[in-house]
Amino acid sequence: MADMLTKAGRSSLMARIRSKNSVPELAVRRTLFRLGYRFRLHRRDLPGTPDLVLPAAKTVLFMNGCFWHGHTCRRGQQVPKSNIAFWTAKITNNKKRDRRVKRQLRQSGWRPLVVWECWTRDPQRLESKLRELLEREKGGV
């Protein structure tokens, strides 16, 4: 097997991350709830259909797969061993779309934040990352 995952394997991986009630998403929801944040799920009327919306904090969260959205972590920087041009173009397009969506959200008064898949594997890391993001979000209040 030249590549780490088959094409179908990658597709189902992405589908799992983006779909409702995935394990990483449930971990994020539980942590947010414990930290006292209340949220709504999958608001389709907002650009990019954010995974979680925190109306009181005017904040939206996207759960991003590290490979698909080109995270700076090891997984995100992994170069596929086959179809390099295809994957590179795909990831570049995803990153472009992410930037566009974030810009649209900011323009309509929302603060877009990204929760990376790799954070969700360790509950303590996830909690500290979420605290960090959301407290910065409050802008020193």
Among residue numbers 88 through 127, which ones bind Zn ion (CB under 5 A)? 116, 118
Least distance CB 73 / Zn ion (angstroms):
3
Residue tagged 């323009």 (tokens)? 107
CA distance 141 to 138: 6
13 binds Zn ion (CB under 5 A): no
13 vs 46, beta carbon nearer Zn ion: 13
Contacting Zn ion (CB under 5 A), which of 13, 14, 46, 73? 73
Q: CA distances (Å), 62 to each of 54, 80, 81, in order?
A: 12, 24, 28
Closest listed residue to residue 62, CA positions, set 140, 4, 133: 133
CA distance 86 to 37: 39
Segment near Zn ion (CB under 5 A); pick from 4-12, 28-36, 66-74, 78-86: 66-74
71 binds Zn ion (CB under 5 A): yes
Q: Which residues bind to Zn ion, rule: CB under 5 A?
A: 66, 71, 73, 76, 116, 118
